[in-house]
Amino acid sequence: MSGAVLVAVAAAIGNLLQGWDNATIAGAVLYIKGEFSLESEPTIEGLIVAMSLIGATCITTCSGGISDWLGRRPMLIISSVLYCVSGLVMLWSPNVYILLLARLLDGFGVGLAVTLVPVYISETAPPEIRGLLNTLPQFTGSIGMFLSYCMVFGMSLSELPNWRLMLGVLSIPSLIYFILTIFFLPESPRWLVSKGRMIEAKKVLQRLRGREDVAGEMALLVEGLGVGGETSIEEYIIGPANEDIEDQDISDDKDQIKLYGPEEGLSWVARPVTGQSTLGIVSRHGSMASQSALGLVDPLVTLFGSVHEKVPETGSMRSALFPHFGSMFSVGGNQARNEEWDDDIVPREGEDYPSDGGGGDSDDNLHSPLISRQTTSLDKDIVPTNHGSLTSLRHGSLMQSTTGEQVGSMGIGGGWQIAWQLSEKVGPDGKKEGGFKRIYLHQEGVPGSRRGSLVSLPGNDAPVDSEYVQAAALVSQPALYASELMKQHPVGPAMIHPAETPKGPSWKDIFEPGVKHALVVGIGIQILQQFSGINGVLYYTPQILEQAGVGVLLSNLGISSSSASLLISGITTLLMLPSIAVAMRLMDIAGRRSLLLSTLPVLIISLLVLVIGSVVKMGNVVHAAISTVSVVLYFCFFVMGFGPIPNILCAEIFPTRVRGICIAICALTFWICDIIVTYSLPVLLKSVGLAGVFGMYAVVCVISWVFVFLKVPETKGMPLEVITEFFSVGAKQVAAAKNN
């Protein structure tokens, strides 16, 4: 996964530039107002700082739609150019108006980076380390602030500090970022698939994953083009085809899905569970939904939680339901013929479909199972063929991950597999009508041994030597399937090249229940983050450290008050880095939801202590000590949870087709709330005082904890497309609970 890591690090430099700029202007403005005599014009002084914020807000309104049109990478290139140009213009700045223009251009670059870097990382990162990599923007942003404070502090020690040089230095790291975006960063594979550029997407995925076989993830990206649709949660018992599974709740053989292994005579079947047995995931989730409705907890939270409770103990990197699951999607030349395959659904004689053998479509190949043929159909779209032979994506062998665990060719990350099922219905004229179902499978329980011995399910009267496994399934209609296409005799949904069928982003898709549900979570957590007090604590920190005696110590060393404030801010930023490093480690282990629920109480306690310190009279030393500890704890735990997680969640929970638009809505909410909090703080300090402000922030943090507990699901280790499917299912369960 080193490819994905390096790409994420390079992309996160955009946030390093944002942090660099924020810290630089905070120091440079002290000298700008002196040169332009702005002491009597606080409005202009405020505009110099705020113009970047205004620019970021303006560009965010259109960044999502443009990124869906042009791509993620071009927008990051534009961001780097804007950073570089703004740095050069600030270095020149003959008057305050040119400076304001430069700050506006800088804001455009900031807005693009803050909005699109998390999206880009989410779309390129493997599910198992997506949280870690998406915490990098927070980490690099803090590094940028620290380095900038150090630079400005060093310059402030000179007799005539040059603010133009302080601001102009931004163009140097911006140039490095520009070179990386041009020559190193690939386009997002999900965006490429959405535009039908399958060969490019496959090459990018191979580079990011460090392996040749990316068939499963390519199929996943195609399926991720859908928005909404009817999705159901089912459960299957998967076992050898000749195994006698005696369970009255398992449906008839006509509904079974057939899976074939790499060895001759080795095959499995997946039989849906339809009744109220202890294995019934539908009934189990149904009861969870009703309990959640009574307890006010969103059923979606319970659905996500039930998946994470069943992750095998061997770790989330394992993506095989059982040892040779990845190989089951390949078609061997010695494979037995499936007599139940309907002749009406296979390609017509003479049509130029890629074969599974070395030559043309043989009779045995035409009667291969749907799942096996499905891989072939995907190959047809993304791999050039030579004289009808496969080049080929499809190999039965299992791939080795960086941890040494097996990754099946149809694995899509986080222990999930993708498969398809052919469902047959009898039409009005008595003829069979075929239809496809796409299935995301997820193992429940502990995987079997390498030999292929599967875990028996506890609590069932299965034979002692039985070999079968329990799997949860998200079943839906494929993204690219349409009933009229069946007349063309397709073999699988990915037979149709995505360039011919996917729609572009549409505002209508935003009102699909699952997307609306995700927007409530995304917008809500962005609003609460901004009103949780980080701006107020940052504003108050220099006063706290001054009272703690840091200012006196620095003045004794001959450091001016302006330089001392910069050094104090740099020390504060430095304290954040170890905490962000801890968050990076825990983001994919504990999870986003767990980190929020565990760090928010510390923020509440820290703010309450600051309120008490402002109200209760105590000695200066005691007050300074308590306040300093509270501020440090607040910073450390904020950057572990409420700092990075809102952006991470917003980049994960929206479907590919509307991800750009939805992330822009959430980012616009972020910037508007940032403006409100920044400019309301001085007014609030005058009206309700410091204690009142911190008290309000503490109340918001309490509301935030309740919101996270009730509404925010755990998304760690899950493919983006599976997350959006769960939101679709959860939205329907919420509607059903309201109706009941």
Worst-scoring range by mean pLDDT, 278-282, 348-352, 388-392? 388-392
- What is the pLDDT at residue 165? 95
**Could you read off the pLDDT of 538-549 as tens digits, one per residue?**
878 777 777 667
* Number of continuous H segments (helices) and E segments (strands) in the chain: 26, 9
Worst-scoring range by mean pLDDT, 163-167, 216-220, 486-490? 486-490
Asked if 117 contacts 12 with a C-beta cutoff of 8 angstroms, the reply is yes
pTM of the complete model? 0.81
The residue written with tokens 């017509």 in the block is: 348
**Mean pLDDT across 537-560:** 76
Q: With a cut of 90, say whether residue 335 has pLDDT above it.
A: no
- Sequence-distant (≥ 6) Cβ neighbours of residue 436 within 8 angstroms: 370, 420, 421, 422, 423, 477, 478, 481, 492, 493
- What is the pLDDT at residue 542? 74
260 compared with 633, residue with greater pLDDT: 633
Worst-scoring range by mean pLDDT, 256-260, 368-372, 462-466, 690-694? 368-372
Q: Output the CA–CA distances (angstroms, integers) from residue 508 to 43, 571, 658, in the order listed.
A: 41, 48, 10
Q: Does CATH number 3.90.180.10 belong to domain 509-739? A: no
Q: CB neighbours (10 Å) of residue 523?
A: 19
- What is the pLDDT at residue 139? 97
CATH of domain 1-185: 1.20.1250.20
Q: Output the CA–CA distances (angstroms, integers) from residue 334 to 111, 262, 298, 337, 357, in the order listed.
A: 57, 10, 50, 9, 10
DSSP 587-638: TTTT-HHHHHHHHHHHHHHHHHHHHHHHHS---HHHHHHHHHHHHHHHHHHH
The C-alpha atoms of residue 59 and residue 198 are separated, in whole angstroms, by 30
H-state helical runs in 330-421? 363-366, 370-382
Work out the mean pLDDT of the chain and round it to a whole number: 76
**Mean pLDDT across 93-102:** 95
- What is the pLDDT at residue 437? 76
Q: What beta strand segments (E) does 445-516 contain?
A: 469-476
Length of the chain: 740
Q: Which residue ranges make up each domain of the chain? A: 1-185, 230-242+255-271+415-423+434-444+468-476, 509-739
**Could you read off the pLDDT of 430-461 as tens digits, one per residue?**
665 556 677 888 876 543 333 333 333 333 34
**Could you read off the pLDDT of 152-172 as tens digits, one per residue?**
999 988 888 999 999 999 999
1-185 and 509-739, same CATH topology: yes
Worst-scoring range by mean pLDDT, 53-62, 76-85, 488-497? 488-497
